[in-house]
Amino acid sequence: MTTLAILGGEPEITERLRPYRSMGAAEKEAVVKVMDDDCLSGFFGSWQDGFLGGPRVQEFERSWAERFNVRHVVSVNSNTSGLIAAMGAIGISPGDEVILPPTTMSATAVAPLFYGGIPVFADLDPNDFCISVDAVKAAVTSRTRAVIAVNLFGHPAKLTELRQFCDERGIFLVEDNAQGPLASEFGKQCGTIGHIGVFSLNYHKHIHTGEGGMCCTDDSRLAERLQMIRNHAEAVVEQAGTRDLTNMIGMNLRLTELSAAIGLVQLGEIEGHVFGRVKFAEGLSSRLSGLEGFTVPTVRTECRHVYYNWMAKFDAELVGVSRERFNEALRAEGFPSFVGYVRPLYYLPLFQEGVAIGRNGFPLNLSERSYSCFPEVCSVAESLWREKFLGVMICNYALEDNIADRLANAFLKVYENRHLLVE
Ligand SMILES: *Cc1c(COP(=O)(O)O)cnc(C)c1O
């Protein structure tokens, strides 16, 4: 019998997994062309040609709009910038509440703060790990102005249902779709179902431009406000004839021509970059499904999952070993698992101490609520983080076909010998 690597045996996978490499000859050529043209940015922060960026930025936005079947696309320099701009565009005002999930990258939860919005955490659905519609409904108050749904790990939140709910109440749905390019619900692209959807093009995502982000919307008024906030709104509102001056103070969130040139190539190859990962993740799921105490990622029937992470649920009682010990044994075999994902965001010092903007605790001092209630309110997020989540960061690795089976073998070796791990 083979001995587990953690107990001194040979690991199943001895070579290091290579990082995913997505930059190729076409990206290189596109960058060189920008250099030869000597126009690294076409933006001007005033009301003239160039307010909307240079030729590649504009072409990248048009191509993105076509690919995702959405009316308007506004590129920005990150998903974080896009979320902040979205909060500005929808008119978040001091004291407005924004409902969002606690399990996501921190940018989702801090975006409202920049306009004085107050993040309110709502629990996750235990099966798709995205924000629960019932939890959103329970969290709504007369001060709620928006919901941010995160398509976590590449699986769609219940976007269609949330959009309908938000429309009925006259509030906004913003999608953080950093992890879900080409994910879809009922055949509609994630990132285009909310009033605004934001994609990330940072180095760690399915496709990237080093840093970058794309905001999608079908609403021309919101698109215009996003363009303004991206590029010094206050200086152009007169010439643009903008009547509503709410949040019309701008930043510089502009993408360079270099990034746009790379983005155009990456967008052209997006199917390969996304579906290669999907194929790998589905292969892992099919080999590892049906094990007692272990639940591979579930996909709602009306959805397409794009597996930024392959995230499974571990039940220590049924498996008979602690999640941490099992994870160590997997890693010793060369299986690149991790546990927990991010700690629920209400534990961040800013929420716990109630200090965000300035020394008086703005805007959290506008809320009567304290963040100490959320570990109890978000019991699903707590249990997934503390006990259940065990996953693989699919997007990080070059996972060729031949390694998929060996990774599954490594997992099964640990699973079948798990009784030997009991301390
Ligand atoms: C990566 C990520 C972000 C931040 O994206 P940037 O482009 O780095 O700003 C926000 N939300 C989620 C869910 C992410 O995965």
Chunked mean pLDDT (size 10), the chain, 423 residues:
91 92 97 97 95 98 98 98 98 98 98 98 98 98 98 98 98 98 98 98 98 98 98 97 96 98 98 96 96 98 98 98 98 97 97 96 93 97 98 91 88 97 86
Task: Evaluate: CB of 84 within 6 angstroms of ligand 1.
Answer: no
CA 262 to chain centre: 21
Pocket test for ligand 1, best of 76, 104, 105 (most atoms within 8 A of CB): 105
H/E stretch holding 288: helix 270-288
Closest listed residue to residue 147, CA positions, set 109, 183, 116: 109
Task: Evaluate: CB of 202 within 6 angstroms of ligand 1.
Answer: yes
**Percentages helix, strand, coil for the chain, rounded to the nearest 5?**
45, 15, 40
237's CB contacts (< 8 A; 6+ apart) are 228, 245, 248
Give residue 108 CA to ligand 1 midpoint distance, Å. Answer: 8
Task: Evaluate: CB of 108 within 6 angstroms of ligand 1.
Answer: yes
For residue 1, what pLDDT is reported? 57
Give residue 234 CA to ligand 1 midpoint distance, Å. Answer: 27
Residue 211 CA: nearest ligand 1 atom is: 7
Place of tokens 């941490």: 324
Instruction: List helix spans (H) across 151-256.
Output: 159-169, 220-230, 237-240
Place of tokens 């996304």: 274
For residue 16, what pLDDT is reported? 86
- Residue pair 209/201 in contact (Cβ under 8 Å)? The answer is yes
Give residue 222 CA to ligand 1 midpoint distance, Å. Answer: 21
Give residue 213 CA to ligand 1 midpoint distance, Å. Answer: 9
Give residue 176 CA to ligand 1 midpoint distance, Å. Answer: 8
Task: Evaluate: CB of 395 within 6 angstroms of ligand 1.
Answer: no
